[in-house]
Amino acid sequence: MPGGVLDALADALVVLSLALLVVRPAAWSIGLLAAQAAAVAALAVVVSHGPGAWVAVAVIGITKVVGIPLVLIWVTRRTQTADAVDWAPWAWILGAVIVLLVRITLPTFSAGLKADHAVLLGTALTVLLLGLAGMVTGRLLLGQVIHLVAIENGLYCVGLALTGGLPAALELGAAVDLLLVVFVLAWLSHHVHRLHLPLHVDELQQLRG
């Protein structure tokens, strides 16, 4: 496994995940999400090798590099959503704390793994936790969808680190499920906007009745 390439991709994933916490423009957030998915696809090639890796690249490329970003772009245009993320001055601090905690505890939960796999596992958990932090702290519905996809990217990388490559059927099933979830949330966003409500998850209670 090319260690230098793996380290570069791992660092890129962490930087992109941190950026997703704080970048407000919706177009930028969607672009960062697509870039994150592309980095995950590259990791699949580096870690898995063989024909299965290219199946993963095809699935990730179709669903998360192209499909989901197109759906999210449709949402931003239909709802005229300018921002995807609520601006929080402490978001960088939260992200830095997550990265630091994972780095400190990495030797404990990666015991027994090869060095490269341990690095990938640490990166995967960082991406997952940063996505979870974005969902917990954010209030914009579009941002919730973006961080949901980021969490799935982290979970996929956990699978890569622990197994060295997931079965193609599992990858395809998970990707299709995620695409359907994003489509449903996008459709919900459209109808919330039609009711002249802000796309904030806290405001969805106004749909009652």
CA-wise closest residue to 60 among 197, 178, 140: 178
- pLDDT over threshold 90, residue 125: yes
For residues 62 and 178, the answer to whether their CB atoms sit within 8 Å is: no
Residue 51 φ/ψ region, left for φ over 0, alpha for ψ in the -120 to 50 degree band, beta for the rest: alpha
Q: Look up tokens 């919730």; give the residue.
A: 144
Q: In degrees to the nearest 10, what's the CA dihedral of 138, 34, 16, 76? A: -30
Q: Tell me the per-residue pLDDT of 140-162, one tens digit each, with 9 for 90 and over.
A: 878 888 898 999 899 888 888 88
Amino acid at 162: L
Give the start-to-end residue ranges of the domains of the chain: 3-203
192 pLDDT band (50/70/90 cuts)? low
Q: Provide the pLDDT confidence category of residue 194 given band limits of 50, 70 and 90.
A: low
What pTM, to 2 d.p., does this model score?
0.84
